Chain A
Amino acid sequence: MTTKILIAGFGGQGVLFAGKAIAKMGMDKDMQVSWLPSYGPEMRGGTANCSVIISDDEEIGSPIVNIPDILFSFNIQSFDKFESTVAPGGILFADSALISKKSDRTDIKAFYIPATELASKNDLQGGANVIMLGKFVAESGLFDKDEFIDHMVSSIPATKAKLIANNRKAFDIGYNYKD
């Protein structure tokens, strides 16, 4: 099965990191993976997005995701731009602290997580992306929870224990969040 994921928001929201965490997890599970960022001036405060493809049975052709099976939307601009492109049967994860709209599509599953708000309430500034990853792992069924967290924090040096703890905490908040 091949899953095409698009993660979109502002530069600085950890959009590229979230994509990298998914791609790395896929790679460590011996899947085919690709990660393609938007690049250029949009990285400096403008919109940023990345295409991630993971597959357990085929070589990845085009690395560009035009019709995502899974969309992460971290701002209203990306919601407006990409919500209509989600494949039928796909999943939308939207940061409802920043996006007041809801999708009126009936052919996709949509989850609204006030990730930015949850992050600041729990003293986890900049952790909205990891909160969303937690919800993604809970709802997509693609990866095991503990395995995903362990892989995600494995790139953080042990000396930054606080950062590891915060990432684990943020992930759990998202994983356990109910609408």
Chain B
Amino acid sequence: MAKVLMKGNEAIAEAAIRSGCRHYFGYPITPQTEIAEYMAKRMPKIGGVCLQAESEIAAINMVLGASSAGVRVMTSSSSPGISLKSEGISYMVGSDLPALILNVQRGGPGLGGIQPAQSDYYQATKANGHGDLHLIVLAPNSIQEAADYTSLAFELGDKYRVPVMMLADGALGQMMEPVEFKEVAETALPEKPWATTGTECKRKKNIINSLFIKPDELEVSVNERFDRYAEIEKNETRAEEYMTEDADIVIVSYGITSRICKTAITLARKEGLKVGMVRPITLWPYPSNTLAKVAKTAKEFLVVELNKGQMVDDVKISIECSRPVSFYGRTGGMMPTPEEILEELRKIGGRIE
């Protein structure tokens, strides 16, 4: 298929439809409302459902219900709305239900602002709800990746029976770039023998539930899920390495910020600074092995994010504090310029001479 010029939000919605998603439940919030608009236009024409719920809490519980019935389903929101969905997300994890949950992040805390941010990193990777849980967290950095990882999110969710979060931001949601869609055949959707689709008196009934009153039973259920998490960590960890082979300074950055860093790296290399980047694509599972490998030859790390340094600890743990790790970021909806990042790189360059 030919390339089309599309906004990130629209491309994600289209990719979801092409991946067999026929159910969308959401509640409007800037900067991701185009997704609901797109779904409202397209879903009725293809026999799908787009429903604007009365709240984010209602929407996520509709997602829980639809997923229980075995269909591909998604919801989307932006930071404050994702907080509201947290309870439902935890219930979905506890019920082993796949779905795509998209967070087009904006500045926080509270109502915050509406401009791009990455300040929900902790929430997405550490505790998007209560209980022992993880979500697979995907962080695209272009519109093409946003479309591709939408398909991947549905595949991984179904494969491992876990909710998948895609962590985007206002800039990725609003910007347009060329995108090419992959068609997924409807017949390629996996069987879900666990779904509550009606027994027709032919099989034992399926039960979708996250309540286990007996502690020993709950422990078994959580342990079984953590076995799957171990499989996910083994098979699904993704990262991009960019010019790390000879790099003295390695930037660690994801999403839209990683692109600003690429421009900064080009500028730094022109000045003779050997800079590279590790870009985590899965924020959970975290690409610790890639960072540990790079730390063998790198001298210093610089984490760059649109927050106050939420990923720094993950980098330090990954490299077991074997190299200095510093941080540069903007927050509240502000974006750094490549020149600001270059200035940080110069400071580090001066130190390691």
Contacts and interface: CB of A to CB of B under 8 A. Distances in A.
B172 to A, nearest CB: 9
Interface stretch (A36-44, A109-117, A131-139): A36-44
A63 B259 CA distance: 8
Given A59-B262, A62-B338, A23 B174 contact: no
Given A61-B260, A64-B335, A33 B115 contact: no
Interface in A63-115: 63-64, 66
Interface string A27-40: 10000011111011
Contacts of B339: 66
Contact of B31 (A24, A39, A59, A64): A39
Contact of A36 (B174, B263, B338): B174
Contact of B30 (A23, A40, A59): A40
B138 interface: no
A163 interface: no
Given A35-B177, A40-B115, A63 B5 contact: no
Interface string B289-308: 00000000000000000000
Interface string B250-266: 00000010011111101
Interface residues of B, number: 25
B176 A35 contact: yes
B175 interface: yes
A161 interface: no
Contacts of A33: 5, 177-178
Contacts of B280: none
In this complex, the interface size class of chain A, counting residues with CB under 8 Å from chain B, is 10 to 19
Nearest to B333: A40
B114 A40 contact: yes
Given A39-B31, A40-B114, A60 B178 contact: no
A24 B7 CA distance: 12
B345 to A, nearest CB: 14
Contacts of B335: 64
B3 interface: yes
Contact of B3 (A20, A27, A35, A61): A27
B263 A62 contact: yes
A59 B171 CA distance: 17
A6 to B, nearest CB: 14
Contacts of A40: 30-31, 114-115
Contacts of A24: 5
A62 B337 contact: yes
B157 interface: no
B170 interface: yes
Contacts of A37: 174-175
A61 B178 contact: no
Contacts of A66: 337, 339
Given A20-B5, A63-B259, A64-B335, A36 B266 contact: no
6 contacts: A39-B31, A61-B259, A62-B262, A62-B338, A63-B177, A64-B337
For the complex of A and B, the 7 pairs showing the least CB-CB separation, nearest first, are A61-B263, A35-B176, A62-B260, A61-B262, A36-B175, A62-B263, A27-B178
Given A39-B30, A39-B31, A61-B338, 17 more contacts: A20-B5, A23-B176, A27-B5, A34-B176, A36-B171, A36-B176, A37-B174, A40-B115, A59-B262, A62-B259, A62-B260, A62-B263, A62-B337, A63-B175, A63-B259, A64-B171, A64-B337
